[in-house]
Amino acid sequence: MTLFQYLPFIMIALLITSVISSIFLRKKNLPVELFTEGLKYENDGLFDEAIINYENALSEVRKNRFHRELKSKIIQKLKILYTISEYQKNIQFTHKTPVNDVDFLSNSVTATV
């Protein structure tokens, strides 16, 4: 038998394997799952966990190279979250009250009552 007689069977087999592989790849879309989980953490106010999920999603996107829009969204989110976390760290650092002042105020209130 010649190659032309086997060609339709080979084409059908390739078509079936490509359809099956595309179905499995769609179900296993890890970067999108990590991005949505990061969004949930961000909405809950857990910025450190959101940063971790966004970084993991970005590394997965770089492996696949199919999600260019998702990559840009993740980079924008990471920039914002880094800024927010730095701002929160600076606010916590500058607004700490000395422990001695708090003890002094509590003793003066109890002494006057």
- Render pLDDT for 25-80 as a digit per residue (tens, 0 to 9): 665 678 888 999 999 999 998 989 999 999 999 998 888 777 788 899 999 999 99
Contact 70, 38 (CB under 8 A): no
Q: What percent of the chain has pLDDT over 90?
A: 35
In a domain, 5, yes or no: no
Residue 113: the pLDDT is: 44
In a domain, 7, yes or no: no
Query: What CATH number has the domain bearing residue 33?
Result: 1.20.58
Q: What is the mean pLDDT of the chain?
A: 81
**Quick one: pLDDT band at residue 82, thresholds 50, 70, 90?**
very high
In a domain, 13, yes or no: no
Number of domain units in the chain: 1
In a domain, 107, yes or no: yes
DSSP 22-59: HHHHHHT-HHHHHHHHHHHHHHHT-HHHHHHHHHHHHH
Alpha carbons 48 and 96: distance in angstroms, whole number = 21
Our measurement of the distance from residue 20's CA atom to the centroid of its chain's CA atoms, rounded to an integer in Å, reads 28
Give residue 52's domain range: 27-112
In a domain, 91, yes or no: yes
Contact 54, 37 (CB under 8 A): no
